[in-house]
């Protein structure tokens, strides 16, 4: 269940796809997802705490093997690199320093560097390259923060950092285990990319055909006529998506269903949260709903992953029954997001208060000169 939170917590691929289909920026979608993400973590933590008190045998403690400074060093070595990697991907997007594609590239390179530093046998020169690159990155960030992007100090720091990254990536390729993992990652990435590309082609053909027969107008009329207004629309849409998630993958839902619902959602939800936040609220809500598809049968990927690593004495039926409380908590979060749109809109930038229809542009005409134009070849006028 905790693993499924990654579908909601930035940087989530689900949010990137939804932002593209809804025509909103990835940064705004990430900002809107922070509130539900925190609420989901609180719900899971509260339920685990409740089990620990009422039924402690269900959540036995992990035996503690480290104490004091050794425990602190192990925690820091596990947390700090991950935090840096998260900043490279999420922080640069939120701060407007990089596009999602650029941030993803930095995250991939950062993951390779961390993998070789943590797992590969390093020489003294490798350690020098790693720590020198880290120091150069810190110096370059400080120089950039001071506004001296074109200075020689920034260029030198960037060159050292880039050279260290190239060297460590080459070392990762030299180590057999790391090279095999990199190849597997590349193959999985290309496989997923090809799958998404073909789904997108098919979904585009379907959307064009659907709009050609005025299907979008039919959907808009049907959804606008639902009893209950805004809340009736949200309840029906979430029940519909929850049902589809039993049989369809997220990508099929995002590329086929979302484009049909987006215009209706913009029209119906705009009076509640405003023009800018309407589709952000709707997209985060759908993301929370689709998150349940990883936990419920028959195609719950998290259940199959758990089945593959669980001992043989653990029955599949036990795994399915055990997932029910966690799915219910995810559905509770859907209800919270519907009832409290502020959980999404609170972290968004304040909408612009300027009405474009009332903007008046006045252009001042240049001063007129009534003197006759100069004659070609005539002497200049006397002062």
pLDDT tens digits, one per residue of 2-13: 777 777 887 777
What predicted TM-score, i.e. pTM, was given to this entire model? 0.67
More confident residue, 288 or 366: 288
Q: What gap in Å lies between CA 250 and CA 240, rounded to an integer?
A: 13
Match 């593959």 to its residue by tokens.
308
Residue 72 DSSP class:
H
Mean pLDDT, rounded, for 203-209: 80
Dihedral of CA atoms 246, 201, 305, 183 in degrees, nearest 10, equals 180
Distances (CA, A) of 373 to 369, 370, 381: 10, 9, 12
- Locate the domains of the chain by residue range: 3-70+199-348
Is pLDDT of 280 > 70? Answer: yes
| pLDDT of 381 above 80 | no
The mean pLDDT value for 87-116 works out to: 79
- Binned at pLDDT 50, 70 and 90, residue 336 comes out as very high
Nearest to 288 by CA among 323, 241, 248: 241
- Report the pLDDT averaged over residues 85-89: 78
- pLDDT of residue 186 exceeding 80: yes
**Predicted confidence (pLDDT) per residue in 287-308, tens digit:** 888 888 877 766 677 777 777 7
Count CB-CB contacts under 10 A for residue 72. Answer: 11
Is 19 in contact with 28 (CB distance < 8 Å)?
A: yes
Q: Which pLDDT band holds residue 335 (cuts at 50, 70, 90)?
A: very high
State the burial class of residue 135 (Cβ atoms within 10 Å of its Cβ: 0-12, 13-18, 19+). middle
Q: pLDDT band for position 73 (50/70/90)?
A: confident
Structure tokens at 249: 């993958």
pLDDT tier for residue 379 given thresholds of 50, 70 and 90: low
Do residues 272 and 230 make contact, with C-beta atoms less than 8 angstroms apart? yes
């Amino acid at each position: 269940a905790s693993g499924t939170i990654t579908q909601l917590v930035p940087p989530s691929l689900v949010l990137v796809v939804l932002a593209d289909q809804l025509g909103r920026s990835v940064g705004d979608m990430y900002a809107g997802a922070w509130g539900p993400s925190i609420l989901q973590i609180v719900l899971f933590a509260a339920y685990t705490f409740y089990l620990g008190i009422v039924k402690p045998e269900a959540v036995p403690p992990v035996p503690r093997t480290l104490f004091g400074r050794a425990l602190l060093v192990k925690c820091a070595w596990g947390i700090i690199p991950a935090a840096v990697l998260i900043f490279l991907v999420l922080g640069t997007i939120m701060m407007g320093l990089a596009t999602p594609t650029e941030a993803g590239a930095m995250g991939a390179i950062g993951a390779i560097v961390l993998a070789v530093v943590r797992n590969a046998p390093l020489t003294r020169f490798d350690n020098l390259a790693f720590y020198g690159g880290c120091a150069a990155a810190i110096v370059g960030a400080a120089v950039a923060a001071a506004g001296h992007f074109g200075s020689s100090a920034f260029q030198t720091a960037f060159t050292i950092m880039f050279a260290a990254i190239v060297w460590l990536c080459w070392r990762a390729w030299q180590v057999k285990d790391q090279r095999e993992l990199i190849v597997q990652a590349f193959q999985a990435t290309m496989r997923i990319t090809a799958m998404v590309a073909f789904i997108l082609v098919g979904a585009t053909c379907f959307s064009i055909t659907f709009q050609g027969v005025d299907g979008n107008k039919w959907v808009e009329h049907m959804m606008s006529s639902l009893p209950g207004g805004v809340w009736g629309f949200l309840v029906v849409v979430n029940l519909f998506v929850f049902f589809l998630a039993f049989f369809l993958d997220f990508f099929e839902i995002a590329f086929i269903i979302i484009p049909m619902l987006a215009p209706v959602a913009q029209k119906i939800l705009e009076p509640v949260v405003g023009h800018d936040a309407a589709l952000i609220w709707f997209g985060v809500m759908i993301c929370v709903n689709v998150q349940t598809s990883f936990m419920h049968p028959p195609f719950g990927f998290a259940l199959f992953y758990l089945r593959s690593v669980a001992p043989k004495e653990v029955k599949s039926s036990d795994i399915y029954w055990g997932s029910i409380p966690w799915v219910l908590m995810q559905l509770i979060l859907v209800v919270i997001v519907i009832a409290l749109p502020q959980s999404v809109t609170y972290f968004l930038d304040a909408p612009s208060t300027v009405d474009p229809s009332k903007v008046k542009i006045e252009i001042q005409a240049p001063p007129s000169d009534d003197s006759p134009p100069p004659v070609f070849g005539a002497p200049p006028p006397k002062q």
